Amino acid sequence: MRLPSLAALLLIASAVPALAEDAKQDFLLVNKTGYELHAVYVSPSHADDWGDDVMGDNTIPDGGRVEIKFHRAVKTCSWDLKVIYTVDSSSAVWHDIDLCTVEKITIKYNKNTDTTNASYE
């Protein structure tokens, strides 16, 4: 079952003043796909639905980056990530990311294999 109003638990750094202490799940999402991203969803692993787009009306251009911030009360470490491309509404999904140990996720698209990959730091 999904947490109620997951979007309320996630905060975009540019829209909210810095918190005194960051949540351990906060991460930097870097788009190196060659394409603009229309939407980003972050949900607890194995939840029933994705909830709201954490970007709202914003997009992430190719080469862009965004800080994804969590409310400090969130304790879950295992999360799923979904991004949707603006150009054709296709999506890429990653499961069971331990956001308590990941600080940066970089996504890249490979035209030869038509796959989007993520690296974690």
97 CB-contact burial (10 Å; exposed 0-12 / middle 13-18 / buried 19+) = buried
Q: Please write the tens of the pLDDT for every residue from 56-95.
A: 999 999 999 999 999 888 899 999 999 999 999 999 999 9
49 touches 2 (CB < 8 A) = yes
Cα–Cα dist 84/88, whole Å: 9
Q: Identify which has the larger pLDDT, 54 or 12.
A: 54
Q: Please write the tens of the pLDDT for every residue from 11-45.
A: 444 444 444 467 899 999 999 999 999 999 999 99
Q: What is the mean pLDDT of residues 111-121?
A: 97
**pLDDT category of residue 8 using cuts at 50, 70 and 90:** very low
Q: Which pLDDT belongs to residue 13?
A: 42
- Domain map (residue ranges) of the chain: 6-120
Q: Which pLDDT belongs to residue 23?
A: 84
**At which residue do the structure tokens 């949540």 appear?**
23
Computed from CA positions of residues 75, 21, 93, 37, in that sequence, does the dihedral angle turn out positive or negative? positive
Quote the pTM value: 0.81
CATH number for domain 6-120, candidates 1.10.1530.10, 2.60.40.2890, 3.90.850.10, 3.50.50.60: 2.60.40.2890
